[in-house]
Amino acid sequence: MSLIVHKYGGTSMGSIERIKNVAARVAKWYEAGHQLVVVPSAMSGETNRLIGLAKELMPQPDPRELDVIAATGEQVSIGLLAMALKARGIKAKSYCGWQVPIMSDDAFTKARITSIDDKKIRKDLDDGYVVIVAGFQGVTDDGQITTLGRGGSDTSAVAVAAALKAEECLIYTDVDGVYTTDPRVVPEARRLTKITFEEMLEMASLGSKVLQIRSVEFAGKYRVKTRVLSSLTDPHMPLSDEAISGTLITFEEDEKMEQAVVAGIAFNRDEAKISIIGVPDKPGIAYQLLGPVADANIDVDVIIQNVSHDGKTDFSFTVHRNDYARTMDLLKSAVLPKTGAATLSGDTKICKVSIVGIGMRSHVGVASKMFSTLSEEGINIQMITTSEIKTSVVIDEKYMELAVRALHKAFDLEQAPA
């Protein structure tokens, strides 16, 4: 008998029929003797409907009150799922975030979980209940409702699994796992049976939208064995088949398997590039340039500063495309006049392509193989950044698919590692 956490996304909870399928799947695990905690999202479309109502009243909704409203989506889901289980004759009990409680800070609409009290859940599990915990929501020390941001139910599930020291956290979603890259771009893309949490972290941060990035951080920090798998398969499939399906997020040192050098290829076309040319190269210049951008709540992603010559340097960074115009205005009006920089240029038609793999740590030549592959395809690289387990390049947006396909082939990703 193991303690297992299931998480179901909005699509899996999207209708009464689908909720019945979720209950059938949970029942199968429960009847096999496991203790089950289930974390559902809001029914698909519901969170957007609620936010839409709020925006009719305030184009920028008050964050505290928006969370009061948005949290109701998951509250409906937990009640419905509890009923679907009871209708099958299974004891079930629902909890809102504040009832567990799942404590969080007070950063409304993007709060972070600070602690989870597992007493009530544990007692219910011991009494034979399936426990259903609302995803996406928490409560502050002074009893205010918070939500955890888009995809926050993933984090709820992993955090609950961590608090309960669950055997495994199963994230049921509408894809059947994590792929070497997006199958819509590369038809040969292969589902990974395993991925390390560090690779998953990079894949998530680079735009692969399978899991909320914070859930991956949680999985890594608390060593939660997490599996991404499909809820769209037959809920009555044999348990043994289901327990090895999807993609398991593992921890490097646990693994004896031969590790592929590159696990996957991520890409992101939501960014825009801004370059400041001829910046006087003196201490504090990066802060002078980027401090005002950060103060305006604009997230900066890739930042590159080249070596200087003649006391001048070039400075480039990327921001989300939605922030491009605002950032350019800010630099022109408030920043450049103070720094004596020469010229400003920008480009929204770029994309970022990254190879990710924990094997890069111990294998030399991975980055150079990436560069040569792109060169052979005639693709010019505009920016490069590297970390221990990923190499990212910024290229012209129009080459994105070509680059991803060429790299997928060059690193033999269509083949399972030997």
Given the rule CB under 8 A, which residues bind a second copy?
16, 19-20, 50, 53-54, 56-58, 61-62, 64-66, 68-69, 71-72, 75-76, 78-80, 82-84, 86-87, 93-94, 96, 98-99, 143-145
| C-alpha–C-alpha distance, residues 418 and 403, integer Å | 25
CB of 163 to a second copy, least distance (A): 18
Q: Which is nearer to a second copy, 80 or 248 (CB)?
A: 80
Q: Which is nearer to a second copy, 58 or 296 (CB)?
A: 58
> Amino acid identity of 292?
P
Residue of 72, 87, 75, 68 lying closest to 21 (CA atoms): 87
Q: How far is CA 344 from CA 99, 211, 278, 315, 347, in A?
A: 52, 36, 9, 10, 11
CB of 165 to a second copy, least distance (A): 24
Cβ burial of 234 (10 Å; 0-12, 13-18, 19+) is exposed
CB of 172 to a second copy, least distance (A): 19
CB of 309 to a second copy, least distance (A): 53
SS (H, E, C) 106-122: CCCCCCCEEEECCHHHH
Q: Which is nearer to a second copy, 94 or 318 (CB)?
A: 94
The answer to whether 305 and 314 have CB atoms below 8 angstroms apart is: yes
| Per-position DSSP letters for 274-291, written without gaps between them | EEEEEEE--TTHHHHHHH
Q: Which is nearer to a second copy, 135 or 220 (CB)?
A: 135
Which residues on neighbouring strands pair with residue 173, listed in sequence order? 230
The answer to whether 173 and 157 have CB atoms below 8 angstroms apart is: no
Cβ burial of 348 (10 Å; 0-12, 13-18, 19+) is middle
CB of 103 to a second copy, least distance (A): 14
| C-alpha–C-alpha distance, residues 367 and 391, integer Å | 6
Q: Which is nearer to a second copy, 15 or 333 (CB)?
A: 15
CB of 96 to a second copy, least distance (A): 7
The CA dihedral of 102, 105, 106, 111, to the nearest 10 degrees, is -80
CB of 9 to a second copy, least distance (A): 18
CB of 94 to a second copy, least distance (A): 5
Q: Which is nearer to a second copy, 66 or 374 (CB)?
A: 66
Q: Which is nearer to a second copy, 58 or 294 (CB)?
A: 58
| Per-position DSSP letters for 366-383, written without gaps between them | HHHHHHHHHHHTTPPEEE
CB of 56 to a second copy, least distance (A): 4
Structure tokens that stand for 33 in this block: 């003797």
CB of 67 to a second copy, least distance (A): 8
Q: Which is nearer to a second copy, 87 or 244 (CB)?
A: 87
| C-alpha–C-alpha distance, residues 169 and 376, integer Å | 43
Q: Which is nearer to a second copy, 146 or 327 (CB)?
A: 146
| C-alpha–C-alpha distance, residues 112 and 215, integer Å | 11
Q: Which is nearer to a second copy, 156 or 392 (CB)?
A: 156
Residue ranges of alpha helices (H) inside 129-253 are 152-163, 197-205, 213-221, 239-242
| C-alpha–C-alpha distance, residues 83 and 56, integer Å | 33
C-alpha angle with apex 13: 10 to 15, nearest 5 degrees? 120
